[in-house]
Amino acid sequence: MKKTFVLVVLFVLPIVAYLFFASGVTNFGRLPSLKEGIMEIPLNSGNPMFSEKISVLGFLGKNVEGRKGNAFNLNQKIYKRFHEFDDFQFLMVVPKGTEVAVSNLKKELSNLDETDKWNFAFLDDQDITRLFESLGTDKKLESDLSSPFVFIVDKQLHLRGRNNDEDEGFKYGYNTASVADLNNKMVDDVKIILAEYRMARKENNLQGKN
């Protein structure tokens, strides 16, 4: 009996565990889409900032210095892990007039890592409000047009998040003031959406060869 039990533990259980997790790829391989039709941000050249990128969207507001800690948390917990993916970017929205403060922030971030995929959009106050409202979340902008929350926007301008989060139900954004929220939830969700797009790319490549 003891030998049989040992054999079951060594050989059968790993197979069962593999089948369980393999089936989970199908069931949990997509990060839910919570809102469509997010407002696009055109550059002066007319090129959109969101298009063809998976974006972590943030709002630093008029007091960029006051949100520096949030940016550092985001850099250490999310950016450093995922910035090497080609289609991934950080897009921080800031009011016009904060260019010097943003330049100083980028210099400080560059001391920690390269900042090639930290992008900043300088917008009028009204456009920042419109963009935030287009997300359709349960969050609100602070009076200085900042938010501690960041949001995942996909290439099709859909807001991605969780629709059955154990704490919030619908999880629209991730609190950059909370290392636990970044570590325990946002890391997993970014992994899912990046894996989703990698899988879609592989499928398209296979179809192109057929």
Give the pLDDT of residue 198. 87
Cross-strand pairs, 42: 48
Shared domain for 144 and 174, answered yes or no, is yes
What is the structure's pLDDT at 25? 39
The answer to whether residues 205 and 108 belong to one domain is yes
User: Quick one: pLDDT at residue 52?
Assistant: 81
Q: What is the DSSP string of 117-136?
A: TEEEEEE-HHHHHHHHHHT-
Taking 3-state DSSP, the helix, strand and coil percentages for the chain, each rounded to the nearest 5, stand at 45, 20, 30
Spatial distance between the Cα atoms of 143 and 63, rounded to a whole number of angstroms? 11
Question: Looking at residue 209, what is its pLDDT?
Answer: 56
Q: What are phi and psi of 170, to 5 degrees?
A: -85, 120
Q: What DSSP element (H or E) covers 151? A: strand 149-153
Query: How far out from the chain centre does Cα 186 lie?
Result: 7
On whether both 26 and 40 belong to a single domain, the answer is no
Which regions of 17-117 does DSSP assign to beta strands (E)? 33-35, 54-59, 88-95
Q: 103 and 19, same structural domain?
A: no
Calpha distance 199→67 (Å, rounded): 35
- pLDDT of 132 reads 97
Say which CATH number the domain at 94 has: 3.40.30.10
| Same-domain check for residues 163 and 183 | yes
Of 75, 39, 42, whose CA–CA distance to 60 is shortest?
75
Q: Structural domain tally of the chain?
A: 2
Prediction pTM value:
0.82
Asked if residue 42 and residue 26 are part of one domain, the reply reads no
pLDDT score recorded for residue 199? 87
Predicted local confidence at residue 184, as pLDDT = 95
Task: Quote the domain boundaries for residue 204.
Answer: 33-209
* Local confidence pLDDT in tens for the 210 residues of the chain: 555 555 544 555 555 444 444 433 334 478 999 999 999 987 654 556 887 899 999 999 999 999 999 999 999 999 999 999 988 999 999 999 999 999 999 999 999 888 999 999 999 999 999 999 999 999 999 999 999 999 999 999 999 999 999 999 999 999 999 999 999 999 999 999 999 988 877 766 656 555
Are residues 202 and 123 both part of a single domain? Answer: yes
